[in-house]
Chains A and B, each alone.
Chain A
C-alpha cells in the first residue's frame, strides 16, 4: 500500500469540504476521483500532498503515519502533483528544469555540467518514449509537453505517487492518447497515480479503481470493472430534496436582452441566447467550460472578437465595463476579494462607488450618501456596526457579498449577472441572496446566473444554458430537468 487516508474531514467555516472520506492507493494503480465541481476531489489530493492539513483523520504514507504532513515532507516521501498550469521556469531548457535545485557539476564546483544533465535527461525521456527534446526551451513547448515534463521531473525525483488534476483538459486527442500511454508506462514501473478527470471515457480507459465524491462525502470506491458510466453519474448526483428550494413564481415578460453570436478566440465560441424580463437564466457547465469568460465578455471586461448585444431591442456598444455599466449591465464577480472589494476602504465607500460614478456630481453630498448606503444596508440586512468606520474586510463573507450586491443595486440596470453568487457564504446569507435575486426578477430585471452549485442552479434558474468547451451546447427548461440529465450534458455523455 503506497498511501492510505482514513476518515479525513476538512471544514472551512460552515462549509464541509470533506467529510469522513477514506482513500487507498496501491503500487501500479490508477485510482480515479470523480465528482462535480466542489465535490472535494482537490481537497482530498491536497491532503495527500501536504498542502492542507485535515481537521481529523489519519494519513499513512509507505506504512508510516503522518500527523502533520508538510508539502516538503510529502515531496520527500515521493508524492508529486502535476498541475494544469505547469510550475516550470519558462526561460530554461527541459533538462535545466528537470535538474532545477539539484544541478550537476563536473570539473568546477558551482558550474553546471550541461552536457551530463542533457544526457541524463535524454535517457529519462527516452525510457518513457516521449516526444520531448531535452534542450528545448520550456516556453516553446505545448501544454501537453509541459505536463509531460512535469511527470519526467517527478520521476527524476523518484516520485512514487503522482497526482494528476484534470491533466487532459487542455489537450487534444492525440496528446491525450500519448498521455494515456505514458500513464501505462508509469503503472508498469509500479507508480501509483491519483487521476482526477471530468472525462468519464478516459477514466474507464485508464483507471483501475474509482472513488466517487459528492458534496465532500465519499459515495464509495469501486474496482472499475464492477461499475458502469450510468451508475457513476447517478452516484455523483442524486441529492437530498432538502437542498433544493422552491423559488417563488415570478411572471416572465418580454425579451429584454439579446446576445448574438458572441465570440472570443480560445474562450467563447458563437454564443447566442435571449433573456426575458423577470427571468433568471442559469449558466451551468464544468470548470473551464467558458461560463465566466462568457459573462466577462458581456460585461466588457474582456474584449469580444465578434457578436452583438441588444438591450430593449437596441444594439449597445460595449468596449469596457464603463460602457456596460452605462448600458444597464452589471456583473457581480465570482472572486469578490480580487475583483470587487476595496479591502482597506469603508463599507460606505465600497457600496456607494458605482452609484456615485453614475449619478452624483463631482462633489459628493456625504450625508445623502450615508443615508443611501444605510437604506441599502437595512434592505439587505448586512451586519455592520459602523458603516463609515468599518472596512469591508472586517465583514463576514456573506455580508461582504451582500455589500457588493448592494453596490450594484444602487445603480439601476436591466441585466444583472451573478457569477457564483453564493460562493463562500453561509446558509443564512445564501437565502438572503436568493431573495434579492427573486426581488430583482419581480422588478422586471433580467438575470444571468453562473453557478457550479447544482441545487442552486436548478432551484433558481428558469432556464439553464449548458456550456461546454466555450460553446453554449444546450438550453434546458427548468421543469423536468434532473441532476443526472444536467451532469450528462456538462460532461458531454448523452445516451
Chain B
C-alpha cells in the first residue's frame, strides 16, 4: 500500500509529469516537436550532459563537487583530437583521453584530501590549470577531425536510437547500481550525511572519496569522447559550462547540495527536462538567450519545491 503512494513523493515523478505537459503543449503549437528527427535530436543533446550529471550525482551525494569537469572535458577532447589528427588510431587516442580525464579528476580529489580543502574550491582552481594546459598544447588552435571519428556520434540503432544515448544510459545505470546495490554507494550516502559517524563506523573516508572522484573521471572521459565524436572538433573551451548544467540537473533531480540523499533517476529526468526546455524554446522560436534564463529559473524553482516539501516532512 505504502509502495503505491511512495511514487507520488518522488521528485522524478513530478519531473516526468512536467516533461509530458511541456511536450504536449509544445507539440500542439509546433507539431514538428514530435517528429522522429527532433526526438533523436533531443536524446543526442542530453547524452553528454547525462554522463557528466551521473558522475556529479555520485559526488554530490557524498558531499563533494567537481566543477572542473568542463575544463577536464576540454583538455581531454583536445588531446584525443590531436592524437587522432596525428594518426595514432582511435582506440589508443580514446584510451589516453579517458585516462587523462580520470587522472585529472583523481588530481582534484587527491588535492582536496591532501590539503584538507573543500573539493569545490580545489576544482575551481583546477579549471584554470586544465584549460591553461589545453591552450598550451593546442596553441589555441581548433583541432578539426571532421569525417574521422564520427562512428560514436552518428551511429543509430535501427536508425532510431542514437548510440550516444545508449552510452549515456549505461553511465546512469552504473551509478544506479553503485548507489542502490553496492557497499560503495552506501558509503557515499553515509559520508554525505554524516562524515564523523561514517568514520566511527570504521569506514575509511579519504579512500572512498578518492574512488568517487575516479569514477566521476571515467564518466567525464566518456563524455569528452562522445562530445568529440559528435562535433568533430575540439578546442580548450570545449565543455565550457557543462559543470554548472550538470549540477543544476542533479539539483532539479532532487539531490540536495548538502548530500546524503538523492537518486540517479532524478538526475536522468532533470537532464531530460533541461534538454526538453531548450528544444521547446527553439521550436517556439524564443530568443536562444532566454534558454539560460529558463534553466536558471528552473533550478531556483526546484530548490523552492524541495525547501517546501522538506518543511512539510519536518517533525514527522
Compute how far the CA of A324 lies from the CA of B202 in the bound complex, rounded to whole angstroms: 8
Compute how far the CA of A341 lies from the CA of B203 in the bound complex, rounded to whole angstroms: 14
Say whether B189 faces chain A, with CB atoms less than 8 Å apart: yes
Compute how far the CA of A426 lies from the CA of B311 in the bound complex, rounded to whole angstroms: 27
Given contacts A322-B204, A353-B190, A356-B183, contact A341 B199 (CB under 8 A): no
Say whether B85 faces chain A, with CB atoms less than 8 Å apart: no
Q: Give min CB distance, B10 to chain A, whole Å.
A: 12
Q: Which of A299, A343, A362 contacts B182 (CB 8 A)?
A: A362
Chain B residues near A366 (CB, 8 Å)? 180-181
Say whether A340 faces chain B, with CB atoms less than 8 Å apart: yes
B6 touches A321 (CB 8 A): no
A326 touches B197 (CB 8 A): no
Chain A residues near B196 (CB, 8 Å)? 338-339
Compute how far the CA of A364 lies from the CA of B177 in the bound complex, rounded to whole angstroms: 10
Q: Which of B177, B194, B202 contacts A354 (CB 8 A)?
A: B202
Say whether A99 faces chain B, with CB atoms less than 8 Å apart: no
Interface residues of B in 230-269 (CB under 8 A from A): 260-261
Q: Give A17-50 as 1s and 0s: 1 = Cβ < 8 Å from B's Cβ atoms.
A: 0000000000000000000000000000000000
Chain B residues near A338 (CB, 8 Å)? 194, 196-197
| Residue in B closest to A342 when the chains form the complex, CB atoms | B193
Q: Give min CB distance, B109 to chain A, whole Å.
A: 19
Given contacts A356-B183, A362-B182, A362-B183, contact A349 B6 (CB under 8 A): no
| Residue in A closest to B3 when the chains form the complex, CB atoms | A389
Chain A residues near B177 (CB, 8 Å)? 363
B193 touches A363 (CB 8 A): no
Compute how far the CA of A320 lies from the CA of B260 in the bound complex, rounded to whole angstroms: 23
A357 touches B202 (CB 8 A): yes
Say whether B176 faces chain A, with CB atoms less than 8 Å apart: no
Q: Give A334-351 as 1s and 0s: 1 = Cβ < 8 Å from B's Cβ atoms.
A: 000011111111000100
Say whether A93 faces chain B, with CB atoms less than 8 Å apart: no
Chain A residues near B183 (CB, 8 Å)? 356-357, 360, 362-364
Compute how far the CA of A146 lies from the CA of B261 in the bound complex, rounded to whole angstroms: 42
B194 touches A343 (CB 8 A): yes
B182 touches A345 (CB 8 A): no
Say whether A85 faces chain B, with CB atoms less than 8 Å apart: no
B197 touches A339 (CB 8 A): yes
Say whether A386 faces chain B, with CB atoms less than 8 Å apart: yes
| Residue in A closest to B196 when the chains form the complex, CB atoms | A339
- For chain A, the bracket of interface size reads 20 to 34
Compute how far the CA of A340 lies from the CA of B202 in the bound complex, rounded to whole angstroms: 11
Chain A residues near B156 (CB, 8 Å)? none
B2 touches A321 (CB 8 A): no
Interface residues of A in 359-375 (CB under 8 A from B): 360, 362-364, 366
Say whether A213 faces chain B, with CB atoms less than 8 Å apart: no
Compute how far the CA of A322 lies from the CA of B198 in the bound complex, rounded to whole angstroms: 10
| Residue in B closest to A343 when the chains form the complex, CB atoms | B193
A386 touches B2 (CB 8 A): yes
B181 touches A345 (CB 8 A): no
Chain A residues near B197 (CB, 8 Å)? 338-342
Say whether A325 faces chain B, with CB atoms less than 8 Å apart: yes
Q: Give min CB distance, B280 to chain A, whole Å.
A: 34
B193 touches A353 (CB 8 A): no
Compute how far the CA of A320 lies from the CA of B203 in the bound complex, rounded to whole angstroms: 9
B202 touches A342 (CB 8 A): no
Q: Give min CB distance, B52 to chain A, whole Å.
A: 25
Chain A residues near B201 (CB, 8 Å)? 321, 325, 340, 353-354, 357, 407
Q: Give min CB distance, B28 to chain A, whole Å.
A: 38
Compute how far the CA of A345 lies from the CA of B192 in the bound complex, rounded to whole angstroms: 10
Q: Give B197-218 as 1s and 0s: 1 = Cβ < 8 Å from A's Cβ atoms.
A: 1111111100000000000000
Q: Which of B184, B189, B200, B202 contacts A349 (CB 8 A)?
A: B189
Q: Give min CB distance, A295 to chain B, whole Å.
A: 11
Given contacts A322-B204, A357-B203, A394-B316, contact A342 B194 (CB under 8 A): yes
14 additional A-B residue pairs with CB within 8 Å, beyond A349-B186, A357-B203:
A299-B200, A320-B202, A322-B203, A341-B194, A342-B194, A342-B260, A343-B193, A344-B261, A345-B193, A356-B186, A363-B183, A364-B181, A364-B186, A366-B180
Q: What are 14 A-B contacts with C-beta separation under 8 Å?
A: A320-B202, A322-B204, A325-B202, A333-B200, A338-B194, A340-B200, A341-B194, A341-B197, A343-B193, A345-B193, A345-B260, A352-B186, A364-B186, A389-B2
Q: Which residues of B contact A (CB under 8 A)?
A: 2, 6, 177, 180-184, 186, 189-190, 193-194, 196-204, 260-261, 316
- The 8 A-B residue pairs with the shortest CB-CB distance, nearest first, are A325-B202, A342-B193, A322-B202, A344-B260, A321-B202, A344-B261, A321-B200, A340-B197
Q: Which residues of A contact B (CB under 8 A)?
A: 299, 301, 320-322, 324-326, 331, 333, 338-345, 349, 352-354, 356-358, 360, 362-364, 366, 386, 389, 394, 407
